[in-house]
A and B are shown apart, each in its own frame.
Chain A
Amino acid sequence: GIQVEQSPPDLILQEGANSTLRCNFSDSVNNLQWFHQNPWGQLINLFYIPSGTKQNGRLSATTVATERYSLLYISSSQTTDSGVYFCAVGVRFGNEKLTFGTGTRLTIIP
């Protein structure tokens, strides 16, 4: 099956810093999503981005499908950004079968 690797596994930053999280995948995908799990365990879908670039406030994501990677950018980090960020991929469009990476744990220090 498809392999998904995320880096770095852990990231500790001062409030206000910028960060880039990376997701590499081993095969062509038609579905790529980024999620945030907050310290209380709640999961939120951030982006559906199988290709191209999207922005939502301080967060943006870029997927370069031909090179099999995606990047999540967080600017001007806030303590509420802490948690684990997951990317998940699927190989068939419209098919909800997803494979997750093991995540990047982000800690923002005040």
Chain B
Amino acid sequence: EAQVTQNPRYLITVTGKKLTVTCSQNMNHEYMSWYRQDPGLGLRQIYYSMNVEVTDKGDVPEGYKVSRKEKRNFPLILESPSPNQTSLYFCASSSWTSGVYEQYFGPGTRLTVT
């Protein structure tokens, strides 16, 4: 079954304590992205990756880091979380396969920073 998995699904942490949200896909997709969703603001892209070792900033990259050492994994790192990073986070992967575009989202990670 094609899927994007995220862990953890829920996380409550304190300001300044480094954390990593993992994202993994089993479809051999080239593209992966991270988004945050906040009420009234829709989804905003944090970082995206076109392939292994190729990453670029989205619209709201401040305070986040990413890496793409393997094609299937795209972890999101918060080195020093702050309360304004409390949000719902989604990972996505996508690809062109035989001329057809397909995209899948993970189930989301709800992060609370106190």
Contact = CB atoms under 8 A, between A and B. Distances in A.
A in complex with B: yes
A97 interface: yes
A83 interface: no
A1 interface: yes
A42 B6 CA distance: 13
B33 interface: yes
Interface size class of B (residues with CB under 8 A): 20 to 34
A97 B45 CA distance: 7
Contacts of B104: 45
Contacts of B42: 86, 100-103
A99 interface: yes
Interface of B: 31, 33, 35, 40-45, 48-50, 56, 58-59, 88, 90, 92, 94, 101-105, 107-108
Interface of A: 1, 33, 41-45, 48, 86, 88, 95-103
